Structure 1
Amino acid sequence: MSNETEKKAYKGKSITVTFEARRCLHAAECVHGLPEVFAPGERPWIRPDGAEAERLAEVVRRCPSGALQYELVD
């Protein structure tokens, strides 16, 4: 499976964010919404512990393509 088709998971203490590159429309809702979590120039580019889980979930829900998803950790 190539990098473009797989869903990559970024695990935080209370939330896991997944990203599917091939679905991304580069609307940058994530980057503008939480630049402290989403930093495209860095690796890893998603740092889930950079913000409160509820706030991060709110920004992920704004993703127009559905490339970003999240799951709250119990």
Structure 2
Amino acid sequence: MEALEYPNGEITIIWKPKVCIHSGVCVRTLPGVYDPKARPWIRVENATTQELVDQIARCPSGALSIKQI
């Protein structure tokens, strides 16, 4: 598994599990979007595109990134 993609119609969140250091910044910043116990664990519909962009900019490992649609 190299990367998983989560689109919202405007952007696609790309998550690279092997890069993730599980710092928890994403979960603490947007708990309605990121739920490690749920499947899928990223629910892009629970935040605005700008909220997602702002949060992903804070990812310390770079495991989360954005692709424009």
Unaligned runs of 5+ in 1: none
1:7-58 CA-to-partner distances (Å, cap 9, x unmatched) read 1101112221110001001111100000000010000000111101001110
Instruction: After the TM superposition, list the runs of 4 or more consecutive aligned residues in structure 1 that deviate by more than 4 angstroms.
Output: none
Show structure 2 runs of 5+ residues with no match: none
How many residue pairs are counted as aligned between the two chains? 69
The residue that corresponds to 2:31 in the other structure is 35
Question: Which structure has the bigger radius of gyration?
Answer: 1
**TM-score computed with the length of structure 2 as normaliser:** 0.92
Pairwise CA RMSD of aligned residues?
1.0
Asked which structure has the greater RCO (Cα within 8 Å, sep 6+), the reply is 2
* Partner SS for 1:16: strand
Name the CA distance, whole Å, in 2 between partners of 1:50 and 1:19.
Answer: 17
